[in-house]
Amino acid sequence: MTGGSIRTPFFCSRKRAIGLTAIMVMSALIVHTMAARAYYSLNSRNLQLVATMAVRAGAEYLPKGPRGAIQIASRFVRHCGVASSEIISTDVSADDYTLTITLYRKVPKYVSLLALGLPSRLISVTATGQRQKLKAQSGHSHWI
């Protein structure tokens, strides 16, 4: 070998090298998009589950303790890894029978930057729970 660069037969052609590079870039974008969609889906489902469980836990304190219901729901979501800044609202209805919580999370830029087809860069979920009053046949009321 005298003064030349090492070339393999596959990369001798400039068209092949460009084609292979294009295929590798497209493959990387596809894999990144799949990972971003999985990230979005898992975070969306996780936030919805946490919100649902929080309102169920908080609704146990309704209608007599609306403040307690809000505190329990907020503590529950924070205990499950939701940051305080991601809790948009925790409200009790005017009749004190319904608790609603709204959570919001941003998909990081490094995940969403090159991802194709994400519904949004923002994940927002709302859950509502009630404590219902049932009437028994004997005329006594029971809370569930």
Q: Cα separations (Å) of 105 from 13, 15, 34, 46, 124?
A: 48, 44, 19, 11, 6
The model's pLDDT over 83-115, given as tens digits with 9 standing for 90+, comes to: 999 999 999 999 989 999 999 999 988 888 878
Contact of 116 with 35, CB cutoff 8 Å: no
This prediction's pTM = 0.74
pLDDT for 9 equals: 63
Residue 75 CB partners (closer than 8 Å, separation 6+): none
Distance CA 51, CA 45 (A): 10
pLDDT for 77 equals: 97
Q: Count Cβ atoms within 10 A of the Cβ of residue 84 and give its class: 0-12 exposed, 13-18 middle, 19 or more buried.
A: exposed
pLDDT for 46 equals: 96
Distance CA 81, CA 117 (A): 27
> Pick the residue with more confidence: 13 or 71?
71
The model's pLDDT over 20-68, given as tens digits with 9 standing for 90+, comes to: 899 999 999 899 899 899 999 999 999 999 999 999 999 999 989 999 9
Distance CA 12, CA 17 (A): 8
Band of pLDDT at residue 16, cut at 50, 70 and 90: confident
pLDDT for 2 equals: 54
Q: Cα separations (Å) of 139 from 64, 73, 103?
A: 21, 32, 40
What is the rounded average pLDDT of the residues 69-93? 96
* Torsion over CA: 48, 82, 35, 25 (sign): positive
What is the rounded average pLDDT of the residues 2-21? 71
